[in-house]
Amino acid sequence: MFYIHDSAAISPQHSFGEIDLVTLHSYRGNKLQVIEPAYEGIPAGLIRRMGKAVKVGVGASLALLKKNSPVSGIVLGTANGGLEDCIKFLNQIVEYQEGMLAPGNFVQSTANAISSQIGLLTANKSYNITHVHRGHAFENALLDAGMLIAENPGQQFLVAGVDEISSYNFNIDRLSGWYKSEDITNVNLYDTQTPGSMAGEGAAAFIVNDQLAGALARVEAVNFMHGEDPEEVRNWIKELIQATGFGNNRGDLILSGENGDSRLIEYYRNAEGLLPDSTGIYRFKHLCGEYATATAYALWLACHILKGMDVPSHMVKRKDLEQPVRRIMIYNVFKKLQHSMILVAGADYLL
């Protein structure tokens, strides 16, 4: 258990700087691409060499570190890092027949380039690690941060989740059926009854520690599993609900990773069916699209909801109007195999 004290997100919506989630930005072509801000604090000569994943990850993180420095460690989760730069470098190997290769694309392409750049730009020589576990990358980063906080009372850490849309990954996943074959918009994402979703990307970063004073929210549990059997997944969710008592109180809310993929809807319906009708249900994938670390964006949303943000109607699937939101369970399914649950509560809930 640990506390979130600050957060920042760069996403396909206006989530950075002036936050406006009421206005839903519409995207076609089955891609939701980030709205890139003016990256303050990154030298112009350096930013020209950065791939998108590095830029958004560093940009979101520096916004927090300007206000919350120093941190005792940088913990990042990503499925692919800067894959677009990796493909560019591999193409150079073929084009130049392994001759004089420009190293820039290679340096920017590794998964740990993001956390490394954050460390270099802030002169932070503390713990620095990147977790690369596909759809569980951010969840592993949260677990790591939780252990660091337990071992180092009084210290604070940066934890983040970052992924980009690369043309290579998009084409591979599209051919594998993970994105819609028909052209739709994110506005009607949940109305579709076909396989696949819309590709997304983004970065979300958090300052975390063990101090209640001034906290935005409290992370109470992080859990995940691998499996495709709906009954096995349902039993896993049921055990977590029973262990945490989630759904017993008014003000409990599910933030669902439902993404318009007809093959995954059974998992989400099973989870919703385990909870009373008083449990609210919000959805977020039409805001950010589908990507491996989308739960980082969901956690950013959860912090704002718990602090009283007016939730736009386009997020609401089912709402309990009788009580303010007190606890949020983020449930996500990635590519049918990887399931995760993050329980986050108001900082002073039951304290």
CA dist 117 and 50 (Å) reads 10
User: 188 with 252, same domain?
Assistant: no
Checking if the pLDDT of 168 tops 90, the result is no
User: Residue 110 — pLDDT band, cuts 50, 70, 90?
Assistant: confident
Share of the chain above pLDDT 90, in %: 78
User: 196 with 235, same domain?
Assistant: no
User: 9 with 136, same domain?
Assistant: yes
CA dist 201 and 77 (Å) reads 13
User: 15 with 115, same domain?
Assistant: yes
Question: 85-95: per-residue pLDDT in tens?
Answer: 667 667 777 77
Domain count, the chain: 2
Checking if the pLDDT of 274 tops 60, the result is yes
User: 20 with 149, same domain?
Assistant: yes
Which of these three, 209, 237, 264, is where a domain ends? 209
Question: 311-350: per-residue pLDDT in tens?
Answer: 999 999 998 656 789 999 999 999 999 999 999 999 988 7
Which of these three, 159, 179, 209, is where a domain ends? 209
User: 199 with 230, same domain?
Assistant: no
User: 189 with 230, same domain?
Assistant: no
User: 13 with 123, same domain?
Assistant: yes
8 Å CB contact between 344 and 327:
yes
- Residue 40 confidence (pLDDT): 86
User: 201 with 244, same domain?
Assistant: no
Question: 20-65: per-residue pLDDT in tens?
Answer: 999 999 999 899 999 999 998 898 888 888 889 999 999 999 999 9
CATH of the domain at 137: 3.40.47.10
- Structural domain of residue 319, as residue ranges? 217-346
Neighbours of 339 (CB within 10 A): 24
User: 46 with 178, same domain?
Assistant: yes
User: 308 with 199, same domain?
Assistant: no
User: Residue 107 — pLDDT band, cuts 50, 70, 90?
Assistant: low
User: 196 with 102, same domain?
Assistant: yes
DSSP secondary structure letter of residue 194? S
Neighbours of 92 (CB within 10 A): 18
Domain annotation covers residue 69: yes
Domain annotation covers residue 227: yes
- Residue 250 confidence (pLDDT): 83
